[in-house]
Structure formats: C-alpha cells, structure tokens
Copies of this chain bind each other. A is one copy, B any other.
Amino acid sequence: MARPPRRLLLLTEGQLNIYDAKMAVAVIRYQPAQAAAVLDSTRAGEPLEEIIGVGQGIAIVASVADGLKYDPTGLLIGIAPAGGGLPESWRAIIRDAMEAGLDVISGLHTFLGDDAEFAGLADEHGVEIWDLRRVPENSPLATGRAASVPTLRVLTMGSDCCVGKMVTALELTAGARERGWDAEFVATGQIGMVVSGSGLVIDRVIADFCAGACEQLVLERARRQALFIEGQGSLIHPSYSGVTLSLLHGTAPQAIILCHEPGRETIQEHTVRIPPLARLVELHERTAGLIYPSRVVGLSLMCYRMTQAEAGLLMAQAERETGLPATDPLRFGVGPLLDRLEALL
C-alpha cells in the first residue's frame, strides 16, 4: 500500500468545518507540511485559520486548476460522511485532479479504485488511487490474546462520534514520546491512517472478524511500551455500538480515556441522550468488564466554543464529578492523563 503523497490538496467542497471536514482538519493539524491547499469553492480566498482554528498560511482555492500552483502531488477527500458515500457533485473534481496528474486518497466506503471511470483515468494518467477503507479479505477471529500482552493499551472512547477520540490518542502519543516512552498511535479509522501512515479502518471489516482485526493491531505492536488506540463510534451510538464493542473487547485496554464534548446532550442525528459523566464512566467500565477489567483513568473534554476560563471551570467540575483527571488536550495538554497512565507502565 502506498504511503500518502507529501503534498495534498484537501477537498472539503461546501463542508469546511471541524465536524464534516475532520479528515482535512486532522491533516492540517498533525501533518501541516503535507497540506498544500484546501479546495472549497464556497470559501475560496478566506483565511483558513478563522474557519477551523488551525492552518494559518494555507490557502483555500476554488478549483483543482487554482490549487496546482501550490505543487500538490495528490488530492485527499477531506470529509468522512456518514455511510461513506461519494457526493455525486465531487466526481468532476476528482476527474480534474487525476487529469492533472494527482494521486487520489479516499476514506469513503465507496471504493474509487473500483469505479470504472476513475480506474481508467488512473491508468491513463499514471496516478494512484489509495482507498483507505480497503481491508484484508480475511482477518482471524479474536482469541482474547490482546489481554495477555504486557504492552500498556490505552483506548480512547467517547460519548458520541466527533468528540476527540483520535485527537486525544494523537496528543497522548506525542506527549508520551516527549516523556521518553516507546509509544505508538494505533489508527483505527481512515483519518488516523492518513496522519500516521498505518493502521486499519476497522469499521470496514466483516462484523464477525472485527474484534479479531482489532486484536491483530495490538498483537502486531506487542513490543511497544505503550499503545494509544484511536477509538471509534460510541457504546451508546445506535449505528456503531457494535464496532465500538468489538474494538473494546478486541484490544482489551488496561486504561480507557473517555472523550466528550461538554454541552452535547444527545447523540448527533439521534435522540439517544448522553448520560452524565460519572454514569458514562461506570457504563464503559461495566461493558469492558464483560470480558476484561478495563478502567477509565481520565477524561478528555473538547471545549471548542468556550473561553479559557470557562473551560478551566468545566475541567474542575468534571474532576469533582468523577474523581478523574480531566483536560482539553488542545488547550491544556495531556499531562494530567499521562501522569495517571505512568503508574500503569
């Protein structure tokens, strides 16, 4: 499988916000050197940093042609829509990119490489299509062996989708390395894969083998001191709870970091209510404990729209409610979480 090209045109057409354009935002935050420009005709010329909070100096362009002056080598589909389909209107943009000699990287469920037109264009123009969601045909069944490797396994889990599970795992990995730990980020979704260069899109695995594929991610990295495993979905999400449980039971983490966006009261696009933090902690430990006695050891609370003072007060309140260290990794760092995890090394 090809490594992502170094200079990416990040396609977010009409969806340039931190939720819908998670993929693009993650590349800008974690691999800024790879971000050539953002392609979004609805925001062309606007200052990127004011829209998504990061990306100062990265241009927003209106078309592939406009983007070429930033020397891209590839086009990255910068959104991760529910269900993973390809918006029909994006076909022309992808076509333009391939005709301009750009590789295409996609995390959509619809494989671009299986599309006759795109496959033909790739041949014709000598470019590559990297479908991040393509997984091995055959994974083994889970055996429960992840529980017995000595590696510290830390899984980020969340109250919902888009509450910082990947960001928290990435920040923990970076912080742990700064402390000298032999730590690795384990990507379980397409965005994490682009950012880290390895991993597996676990929600694409056949359900019967999903826990087994998660277990393999741990076993293959069993010589590391610590793994920070990117969580997926939520145990209380009607669409994804099964994937979340496969990941939890397949990786058998000693430690869970629980992620939440304060103020969010129900699961996005659903009516399921998100319980209070202390109850969330309890239900995660109970559900993990069906197989392995994982413990929630800290909270990651993304406070996108708050002042620093408001966020600080909220952390203190969450700590009182749960007895656990709480932080917003992007504002306050992950020190309090790593302090707690250090005892488990």
Contacts and interface: CB of A to CB of B under 8 A. Distances in A.
Interface of A: 82-84, 109, 140-144, 202-208, 210-212, 235-236, 238-247, 249-250, 270-272, 283, 286-287, 290-291
17 contacts: A83-B140, A84-B208, A109-B208, A144-B272, A203-B206, A204-B208, A205-B206, A205-B207, A206-B207, A211-B240, A238-B249, A238-B250, A241-B245, A241-B249, A241-B291, A245-B245, A283-B286
5 tightest A-B contacts by CB? A242-B246, A203-B208, A144-B238, A207-B210, A242-B242
Contacts of A207: 202-207, 210, 242-243, 246
A72 B240 CA distance: 43
A232 to B, nearest CB: 9
A211 B207 CA distance: 10
Given A144-B272, A207-B202, A207-B204, A242 B243 contact: yes
A231 to B, nearest CB: 13
Nearest to A236: B290
Given A83-B141, A236-B291, 15 more contacts: A82-B141, A83-B140, A84-B208, A143-B238, A144-B270, A203-B207, A205-B206, A211-B239, A211-B241, A235-B290, A238-B250, A242-B243, A242-B249, A245-B245, A287-B287
A101 B290 CA distance: 48
B204 A271 contact: no
B144 A271 contact: yes
